[in-house]
Protein backbone atom coordinates (compact mmCIF):
# COMPACT_ATOMS: atom_id res chain seq x y z
CA UNK A 1 0.00 0.00 0.00
CA UNK A 2 0.86 3.65 -0.43
CA UNK A 3 0.27 6.73 1.66
CA UNK A 4 -2.72 8.80 0.55
CA UNK A 5 -4.14 12.11 1.72
CA UNK A 6 -7.38 11.95 3.70
CA UNK A 7 -9.62 14.75 4.95
CA UNK A 8 -11.83 14.79 8.02
CA UNK A 9 -14.54 17.46 8.17
CA UNK A 10 -15.24 18.37 11.79
CA UNK A 11 -18.54 20.08 10.96
CA UNK A 12 -20.06 17.14 9.09
CA UNK A 13 -18.23 14.39 10.99
CA UNK A 14 -17.18 12.81 7.67
CA UNK A 15 -13.93 11.43 6.31
CA UNK A 16 -12.93 11.15 2.66
CA UNK A 17 -9.94 10.17 0.58
CA UNK A 18 -8.40 13.03 -1.36
CA UNK A 19 -5.72 11.13 -3.31
CA UNK A 20 -5.43 7.63 -4.70
CA UNK A 21 -2.40 7.62 -7.01
CA UNK A 22 1.09 6.37 -6.07
CA UNK A 23 2.12 7.80 -2.68
CA UNK A 24 1.30 11.21 -1.21
CA UNK A 25 2.42 12.58 2.15
CA UNK A 26 3.13 15.69 4.24
CA UNK A 27 -0.12 17.58 3.59
CA UNK A 28 -0.74 21.17 4.60
CA UNK A 29 -4.09 22.96 4.44
CA UNK A 30 -5.31 26.55 4.21
CA UNK A 31 -9.01 27.17 3.66
CA UNK A 32 -10.08 24.92 0.78
CA UNK A 33 -6.53 24.25 -0.44
CA UNK A 34 -4.49 21.15 0.41
CA UNK A 35 -0.88 20.85 -0.77
CA UNK A 36 1.22 17.69 -0.47
CA UNK A 37 4.26 15.78 -1.67
CA UNK A 38 3.48 13.37 -4.48
CA UNK A 39 5.81 10.56 -5.55
CA UNK A 40 4.19 9.60 -8.87
CA UNK A 41 7.28 11.03 -10.59
CA UNK A 42 10.33 11.86 -8.47
CA UNK A 43 8.89 13.91 -5.63
CA UNK A 44 6.61 16.75 -6.67
CA UNK A 45 4.21 19.23 -5.07
CA UNK A 46 0.50 18.96 -5.86
CA UNK A 47 -2.54 21.02 -4.92
CA UNK A 48 -6.05 19.76 -4.26
CA UNK A 49 -8.82 22.38 -4.24
CA UNK A 50 -11.73 21.27 -2.05
CA UNK A 51 -14.04 23.92 -3.52
CA UNK A 52 -13.72 22.45 -7.05
CA UNK A 53 -12.62 18.89 -6.17
CA UNK A 54 -9.71 19.22 -8.57
CA UNK A 55 -6.04 18.33 -8.33
CA UNK A 56 -3.21 20.04 -10.15
CA UNK A 57 0.57 19.92 -10.12
CA UNK A 58 2.41 22.91 -8.64
CA UNK A 59 6.08 21.86 -8.89
CA UNK A 60 7.09 18.94 -11.12
CA UNK A 61 10.65 19.68 -12.19
CA UNK A 62 13.39 17.07 -12.38
CA UNK A 63 14.37 18.18 -8.86
CA UNK A 64 12.95 16.67 -5.71
CA UNK A 65 10.31 18.93 -4.16
CA UNK A 66 9.22 18.37 -0.55
CA UNK A 67 7.84 19.88 2.67
CA UNK A 68 5.04 22.05 1.24
CA UNK A 69 3.13 24.68 3.18
CA UNK A 70 0.24 26.89 2.10
CA UNK A 71 -1.34 30.14 3.23
CA UNK A 72 -4.12 31.72 1.19
CA UNK A 73 -2.92 31.86 -2.43
CA UNK A 74 0.77 31.17 -1.68
CA UNK A 75 2.56 27.81 -1.57
CA UNK A 76 6.14 27.25 -0.38
CA UNK A 77 8.31 24.13 -0.42
CA UNK A 78 11.87 22.85 -0.27
CA UNK A 79 13.43 22.14 -3.67
CA UNK A 80 16.50 19.91 -4.02
CA UNK A 81 18.25 20.75 -7.28
CA UNK A 82 21.91 20.49 -8.29
CA UNK A 83 22.89 19.25 -4.84
CA UNK A 84 21.36 22.25 -3.08
CA UNK A 85 18.20 22.70 -0.98
CA UNK A 86 16.37 26.01 -1.50
CA UNK A 87 12.97 27.49 -0.69
CA UNK A 88 10.55 28.13 -3.55
CA UNK A 89 7.23 29.96 -3.74
CA UNK A 90 4.25 29.51 -6.07
CA UNK A 91 1.68 32.32 -6.29
CA UNK A 92 -1.75 30.97 -7.30
CA UNK A 93 -2.97 34.46 -8.29
CA UNK A 94 -0.23 34.99 -10.86
CA UNK A 95 0.57 31.30 -11.56
CA UNK A 96 4.25 32.08 -11.11
CA UNK A 97 7.03 30.24 -9.31
CA UNK A 98 10.11 31.86 -7.83
CA UNK A 99 13.12 30.90 -5.78
CA UNK A 100 13.30 32.71 -2.43
CA UNK A 101 16.72 31.51 -1.22
CA UNK A 102 20.00 31.44 -3.11
CA UNK A 103 22.62 30.68 -0.47
CA UNK A 104 24.60 27.48 -1.19
CA UNK A 105 23.87 26.12 2.29
CA UNK A 106 20.86 23.99 3.18
CA UNK A 107 17.49 25.76 3.52
CA UNK A 108 14.52 23.58 4.47
CA UNK A 109 11.19 23.16 6.31
CA UNK A 110 9.47 26.31 5.02
CA UNK A 111 6.28 27.62 6.62
CA UNK A 112 4.09 30.52 5.53
CA UNK A 113 1.51 32.84 7.06
CA UNK A 114 0.14 35.56 4.80
CA UNK A 115 3.17 37.15 3.16
CA UNK A 116 5.73 35.89 5.69
CA UNK A 117 7.84 32.80 5.00
CA UNK A 118 10.11 31.22 7.63
CA UNK A 119 12.51 28.27 7.32
CA UNK A 120 15.52 26.50 8.85
CA UNK A 121 18.78 27.73 7.30
CA UNK A 122 22.28 26.25 7.70
CA UNK A 123 24.36 29.02 6.08
CA UNK A 124 26.05 29.82 9.41
CA UNK A 125 27.09 26.21 10.01
CA UNK A 126 24.20 25.26 12.26
CA UNK A 127 20.44 25.61 11.96
CA UNK A 128 19.03 29.11 12.31
CA UNK A 129 15.57 30.49 11.59
CA UNK A 130 15.24 32.93 8.71
CA UNK A 131 12.28 35.00 7.51
CA UNK A 132 11.36 36.34 4.08
CA UNK A 133 8.82 39.15 3.79
CA UNK A 134 7.02 38.90 0.43
CA UNK A 135 5.70 42.47 0.76
CA UNK A 136 9.17 44.02 0.99
CA UNK A 137 11.20 41.21 -0.68
CA UNK A 138 13.60 41.21 2.25
CA UNK A 139 15.23 38.38 4.15
CA UNK A 140 16.15 38.51 7.84
CA UNK A 141 17.83 36.19 10.30
CA UNK A 142 15.46 35.59 13.23
CA UNK A 143 17.54 33.33 15.49
CA UNK A 144 21.24 32.71 15.68
CA UNK A 145 22.82 30.64 18.39
CA UNK A 146 26.53 30.21 17.77
CA UNK A 147 26.85 26.49 18.47
CA UNK A 148 23.43 24.83 18.53
CA UNK A 149 20.51 24.24 16.21
CA UNK A 150 17.24 26.11 15.88
CA UNK A 151 14.86 24.29 13.52
CA UNK A 152 11.30 23.30 12.62
CA UNK A 153 9.68 26.74 12.61
CA UNK A 154 5.95 27.40 12.69
CA UNK A 155 4.40 30.77 11.93
CA UNK A 156 1.06 32.44 12.47
CA UNK A 157 0.45 36.09 11.67
CA UNK A 158 3.48 37.91 13.13
CA UNK A 159 4.69 35.19 15.51
CA UNK A 160 7.30 32.47 14.88
CA UNK A 161 8.03 29.52 17.18
CA UNK A 162 10.74 26.86 16.69
CA UNK A 163 12.59 24.02 18.37
CA UNK A 164 15.84 25.14 19.95
CA UNK A 165 18.78 23.06 21.19
CA UNK A 166 20.89 25.87 22.70
CA UNK A 167 20.71 24.54 26.29
CA UNK A 168 21.55 20.95 25.39
CA UNK A 169 17.86 20.07 25.22
CA UNK A 170 15.30 20.44 22.49
CA UNK A 171 13.20 23.37 23.75
CA UNK A 172 10.50 25.59 22.29
Query: 8-54, pLDDT tens digit by residue?
Result: 999 999 999 999 878 999 999 999 999 999 998 888 999 999 999 99
Whole-number Å distance between alpha carbons of 53 and 6: 13
Rounded mean pLDDT of 115-122?
97
pLDDT digits (tens, 9 = 90+) for 153-168: 999 999 999 998 877 7
Which pLDDT band, with edges at 50, 70 and 90, does 4 fall under? very high
pTM for this model (two decimals): 0.93
**CA torsion sign, 39 to 41 to 42 to 47?**
negative
Amino acid sequence: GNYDIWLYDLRTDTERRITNASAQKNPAISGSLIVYEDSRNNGDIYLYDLSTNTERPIATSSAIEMSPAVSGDKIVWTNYYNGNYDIYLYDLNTNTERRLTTDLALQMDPVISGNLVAWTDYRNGNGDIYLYDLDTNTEAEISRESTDVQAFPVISNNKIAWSDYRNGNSDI
